[in-house]
Amino acid sequence: MNCRDDVHARVTLTNRAASGIVATGVRKSSNSLSGGCVSADDFTYRILPQLVAPNSTSVVMDRVLYDGGSGCCTNPKQCGGTCDIEEVFTVVTEIGSVPAGQFVYTLEFSGCDACGASATSRRSCRSFSQAAAAA
């Protein structure tokens, strides 16, 4: 996916208990698996408190993860290449956190915006010349 594309996540919570549980947020942790990128900071998406009934599954989050695309470059004129990014999710509940899965995608740095101080999708990558020197 290109750095200007949106990354979308749908997170569900399965409650196998005999009583309901309230979900209050979804924590996301990003990891750069390859390509020398800097992954986004950990972030907790606040959600309206949602009761997940006993012995049921509910969607607790269904949204775009980053505003303004999935990546950015510290210097767009000298940025290129790809990175594999892993997004890991945990549902925050009234009784603790519950692992909610992960997915991996390949991020292509071509025509990316410059990283701003408040960029949610903060990703940096080495320039082509730095990547060639490292090889």
Looking at residue 74, which CATH number applies to its domain? Answer: 2.60.40
Number of domains in the chain: 1
In a domain, residue 3? The reply is no
Whether pTM exceeds 0.85: no
In a domain, residue 2? The reply is no
CA 17 to chain centre: 29
Instruction: Specify burial of residue 112 (Cβ count, 10 A radius: 0-12, 13-18, 19+).
Output: buried
Using 50 as the pLDDT threshold, list the residues of the chain that sit under it: 118-122, 125-135
Domain that holds residue 111: 8-134
In a domain, residue 85? The reply is yes
Q: What is the pLDDT of residue 38?
A: 82
Rg (CA), the chain: 17
Q: What is the pLDDT of residue 10?
A: 97
In a domain, residue 21? The reply is yes
Q: What is the pLDDT of residue 18?
A: 96
